[in-house]
Amino acid sequence: MWIKVNGTEREVPDNATVAEMLAALGVPCRGVAVAVDGTVVARTEHERTVVPDGAEVEVLTAVQGG
C-alpha cells in the first residue's frame, strides 16, 4: 500500500503496523516518534497499531537545536 511519509509517497507492506512500517522505511525504532493522520502513536503501541492505506505519517527525531 502507499502512504505519505513526511510529505513523500512511500510504499510499505499492506496492513503494516507502525513498527513494520519503520522497518520497511529503514528508520531505526529508537529515538523516533510517529504520528499517523495527526495523532501521536505511543511507543508501546507501535507493534499493535496498523497504518491505514493512504495514511499521512510523520516520523520525527531529535536534531541539533535550541
Where along the sequence are the contacts to other proteins (CB under 8 A)?
6-7, 25-28, 31-35, 38, 40-43, 58-66
| Closer residue to other proteins in complex, CB, 33/54 | 33
Q: How far is the CB of 54 from other proteins (least distance, A)?
A: 19
| Closer residue to other proteins in complex, CB, 9/66 | 66
Q: How far is the CB of 53 from other proteins (least distance, A)?
A: 21
Query: What is d(CA 21, CA 48) in angstroms, rounded to the nearest whole number?
Result: 12
46 burial level (CB within 10 Å; 0-12, 13-18, 19+):
middle
